[in-house]
Amino acid sequence: MLALVTGPGGFLGRYIVEQLLARGDRVRGLARGDYPELAMLGVQMHRGDLADRAAVVRACDGVDCVFHVAGKVGVWGHWFDYFQANVQGTLNVLGACQEVGAPRLVFTSSPSVTFDAARWQGADQRGVDERAPYPESWLAHYPHSKALAEQLVLTENGERIAGGGVLQTCALRPHLVWGPRDHHLVARLIDRAESGRLRRVGDGQNRVDITYVENAAHAHLLAADALATPGSPAAGKAYFISQGEPVACWPWIDQVLGLADLPPVARSISEATAWRVGWLLEHAHWWTRRWNHEPRMTRFVARSLATDHWFDISAAKQDFGYEPQISTAEGMQQLRKWLQTPGAADLRSGRSRNGAATRRP
């Protein structure tokens, strides 16, 4: 097939591109930046912004499936920026699919769309499945905007498209994607640990799901293939994706730091204190209009780092045959190897390869 990947130069997007190429599919990419390395691999690169409807329509023209991976991540900033990238951008992708007749859309969502971080009691997510509702209030623009986008994607499933067919959609929610070439989560942990700003939040016993990046990419291809089958059970649904084996959050973080030859996290702060500090820093940033400088702590981050987040992935297994292909232990070995390469050297300064500070919730 001819597949379009939005955000093909990003962490997960790049792996999706490589797996598509490896199995013989043709790939087109839509990105704001220039990625000559992707063009050298044979990717048809289209340069444009998701907010540019015309650019999105041109990129979608003639494709068999769209992998909508691009979006704005983070826990701080203007609502408009998140809305434009994650909601308006998704609306443009959906409209383009209908206008040019692209029949399948796999949307990269997030488990945070079901995380009720504003609830003081009962915020833990233990073995929850896709019946978990969206929260009524939000502490960060990222999960809010992703939830709105996800609902749009699922609502548009079955809508008529040019050429007489219908649009088949689904959404995947991989949790804490990590692995080689990770300039987001791993970079953030290393940067904060080296600068002495990393603190354990809570009692350190909370369990979380994680997803090795190649497994997350594999799930996207499986979902796309499932949507090609008439009457697919995956159509119009959202799915949690993970390793299927929760880990203790802070011991796992210590393991990641150990791969970078850094000591375990030694200092800790209670969840209640982290929450109060987050509230104070958020309000200080609001009053001083420091929209481009993420607070060292927010209420959303405090709650995320101290509570359980693990999910039932049986629906993905049943509907499109998802099974993690690479174990967590094997993935950690691959991460270790990558951290020892020159390509990972810029993580030591907490910078991404284009010089921008790394940020991810």
Choose among 213, 210, 12, 23: nearest CA to 106.
12
Q: Which of 15, 35, 82, 142 is catalytic?
A: 142
Lookup: tokens for 72 = 């704005």
For the chain, the farthest-separated pair of C-alpha atoms sits apart, in whole angstroms, at: 61
Lookup: tokens for 92 = 């443009």
Distance, C-alpha 213 to centroid of its chain: 10
Counting Cα atoms < 13 Å in the Cβ hemisphere of 60 gives 28
User: Is the CB of residue 289 less than 8 Å from the CB of residue 268?
Assistant: no
Can 322 be counted among the known catalytic residues?
A: no
Choose among 246, 228, 223, 176: nearest CA to 318.
223
Lookup: tokens for 107 = 């949307």
User: Is the CB of residue 178 less than 8 Å from the CB of residue 241?
Assistant: no
Give the residues across from 170 on adjacent strands.
106, 237
CA–CA distance, 54 with 50 (Å, rounded to integer): 9
Distance, C-alpha 115 to centroid of its chain: 14
Lookup: tokens for 242 = 């993970």
User: Is the CB of residue 300 less than 8 Å from the CB of residue 117?
Assistant: yes
User: Is the CB of residue 218 less than 8 Å from the CB of residue 325?
Assistant: yes
Counting Cα atoms < 13 Å in the Cβ hemisphere of 55 gives 14
Q: Quote the DSSP letter at residue 136.
A: S
CA–CA distance, 18 with 311 (Å, rounded to integer): 27
Residue 261 region by backbone torsions, left for phi larger than 0, else alpha for psi between -120 and 50, else beta: left
Neighbours of 137 (CB within 10 A): 9
Contacts of 57 by beta carbon, 8 Å cutoff, 6+ apart: 95, 96, 99, 100
Where in the sequence numbering do the catalytic residues fall?
142
